[in-house]
């Protein structure tokens, strides 16, 4: 087995090798100061510089203006499912949701506990194989925001263009943040668990427009208020120091690649290789409709579950790991986030051709 296999896992996902090498060094002796990164006080000058640099790089890469706060929080994207309505909706107010997969359903469930959730669209009847166009749904006039998941890891769908609405947008971008440029101005809030495209598990990045920080009701506990964390620069309590540090390293790496515009071009090339392979044969069948295909997670099936199991097993034996589809839909899934090397996609396509030749 080689030192490095190709990791197609949906998350925690592959990281740039140079980032891993630097992190391995700094975890023992950070910046040659004599202690490891994970031993640093979060209030030390050294770590404050780490956090500030990570924030600055994210702001630069995503062109985020100063009227948005960038927060490094804990609890994963799943905590944000509740924090968003808790902070932005009074109990008698409403948020509008687009149900395009498992994570949207979970967010709808949490919002319905604390406020009102209008489900304006659902693709559940077609096994979440597509996302809607703007004309496919209506947002109620009394809704405070339109919530959507930009990329659906399980089903391999993605909004090629973000929704347009008179209401502010809120989005879970956990699996495609930093993969393509977009205009932040229609958004009130964006959040992303880091472990797919930004760094390791443990930190969730929240980008929130600063006028929304005072919306939380008086009876909301301190830790669940965005303002608590914004006022303290994400240092109200001990933050996930190591995860923040690696997010900064990944952002540095991305800047070296040419930034978000450059990585989008590479992402499109990688995805095209796989989709062209799938479309060239009857042996492989993509799950997502062509107009909703994800650049990050390519989902597909083989003629039988038995062949899928054999494909996954033999691929793993050939250094192509993590290709098993989510348990809810089965099949196969290749997750090819920013840090996933193009050569890994080339090797997978070659393996797919050979597997079809032997088993087709």
**Active-site annotation, residues:** 103, 172, 196
Can you tell me whether residue 122 is helix, strand or coil? Answer: strand
Q: Within 13 Å, how many C-alpha atoms sit on residue 336's CB side?
A: 30
Token code pair at residue 232: 């303290």
Closest CA to 10 of 325, 246, 313: 325
DSSP, residue by residue, 165-232: -SSEEEEE-TTTTTSS----TTEEEEEEETTTTTSSTT-EEEEEEGGGTT-S-TTS-GGG-HHHHHHT
Q: Tell me the C-alpha distance between 80 and 166, whole Å.
A: 23
Cβ–Cβ < 8 Å for 334, 325:
no
Closest CA to 62 of 164, 166, 197: 197
What is the β-pairing status of strands 320-321 and 116-122?
Answer: unpaired
Contacts of 300 (CB under 8 A, 6+ apart): 156, 278, 284, 285, 286, 287, 331, 332, 333, 334
* Contact between residue 103 and residue 128 where contact means Cβ atoms under 8 Å apart: no
Separation between Cα atoms, residue 320 and residue 5, nearest integer Å: 6
Q: Where are the alpha helices (DSSP H) in 208-333?
A: 226-231, 241-256, 259-279, 305-317
User: What SS3 class is residue 116?
Assistant: strand
The Cα-based distances of 309 to 99, 189, 314, 324, 358 in angstroms read: 30, 40, 9, 8, 15
């Amino acid at each position: 087995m080689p030192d490095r296999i190709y990791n197609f896992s949906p998350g925690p996902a592959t990281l740039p090798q140079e980032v891993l090498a630097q992190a391995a060094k700094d975890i023992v002796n950070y910046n040659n100061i004599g202690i490891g990164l994970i031993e640093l006080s979060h209030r030390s000058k050294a770590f404050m510089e780490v956090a500030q640099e990570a924030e600055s790089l994210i702001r630069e890469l995503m062109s985020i203006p100063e009227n948005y706060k960038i927060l490094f929080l804990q609890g994963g994207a799943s905590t944000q499912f509740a924090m968003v309505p808790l902070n932005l909706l009074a109990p008698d107010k409403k948020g509008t949701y687009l149900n395009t997969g498992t994570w949207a359903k979970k967010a709808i469930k949490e919002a319905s506990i604390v406020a009102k959730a209008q489900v304006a669209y659902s693709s559940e009847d077609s096994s979440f194989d597509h996302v809607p166009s703007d004309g496919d749904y209506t947002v109620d006039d009394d809704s405070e925001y339109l919530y959507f998941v930009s990329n659906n890891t399980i089903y391999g769908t993605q909004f090629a263009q973000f929704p347009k609405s008179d209401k502010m947008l809120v989005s879970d971008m956990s699996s495609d943040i930093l993969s393509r440029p977009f205009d932040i101005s229609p958004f009130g809030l964006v959040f992303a668990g880091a472990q797919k495209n930004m760094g390791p598990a443990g930190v969730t990045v929240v980008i929130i427009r600063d006028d929304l920080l005072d919306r939380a009701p008086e009876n909301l506990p301190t830790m669940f208020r965005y303002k608590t964390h914004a006022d303290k620069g994400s240092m109200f309590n001990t933050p996930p120091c190591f995860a923040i540090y690696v997010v900064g390293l990944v952002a540095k790496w991305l800047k070296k690649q040419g930034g978000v515009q450059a990585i989008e071009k590479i992402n499109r090339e990688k995805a095209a290789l796989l989709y062209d392979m799938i479309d060239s044969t009857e042996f492989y069948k993509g799950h997502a409709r062509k107009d909703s295909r994800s650049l990050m997670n390519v989902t597909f099936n083989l003629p039988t579950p038995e062949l899928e199991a054999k494909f996954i097993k033999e691929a793993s034996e050939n250094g192509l790991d993590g290709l098993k589809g989510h348990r809810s839909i089965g099949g196969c899934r290749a997750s090819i986030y920013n840090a996933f090397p193009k050569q890994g996609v080339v090797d997978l396509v070659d393996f797919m051709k050979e597997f079809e030749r032997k088993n087709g």
